[in-house]
Amino acid sequence: MQKLAGKLMLLMLHSLGITKEDLSWVGPLTESKGGCAALQMNHYPACPDPDQAMGLAAHTDSTLFTILYQNNTSGLQVLKEGAGWVTVPPIPGALVVNVGDLLHILSNGLYPSVLHRAMVNRTKERLSLAYLYGPQPSVQISPLPKLVGPSQPPLYRPVTWTEYLGTKAKHFNKALSCVKVCAPMKGLDANDHSRVRVG
């Protein structure tokens, strides 16, 4: 799974015009001793009244991405802008990839993290295996230099996975906002003291 995750990481970065040479830390991510990962097993028993139970509350993942296997019982839902909650149907033999907050930061928002939840089923149990993939805990994640410039400033400050997990524990789904950089208003140069007036 580590090799698959490393290859997926490179493909996703390549789609943004980023090469392996652009990153000092991506090499270890593609090797078995590189990135950090955890495997989470989830069991959602059948529930006769699914509207009265929540399988897993709405959240984004604190990872670069999560590779998810789900059995043949639907329950995974993603929030789609303009459409509300949409069920992701299980496809036999397929894996689902959820973009996490760290890839959201790394891509400067070009790969947005996915708000998702798990619902219980009225008659069937649901099982899922989540492979949570990220960098080493001390690696600083920030928008990649090739993805920022005068017309597209960095939207997030550098953060380690360890620091981000602490922020997520404290602020939950508002964690990305906590590491977001406030952009100056158009036409305002904060260094031009002759134009800034107080009072």
Catalytic residues: 126
Residues 6+ apart with CB under 8 A from 195: 188, 189
Neighbours of 65 (CB within 10 A): 25
- Look-up: residue for tokens 């509300």? 84
Q: CA separation (Å) from 73 to 43, 68, 79, 121, 198? A: 11, 13, 19, 8, 60
- The answer to whether residues 108 and 147 touch, using CB atoms and an 8 Å cutoff, is yes
DSSP-based three-state secondary structure for 149: strand
Q: Are 147 and 16 in contact (CB under 8 A)?
A: yes
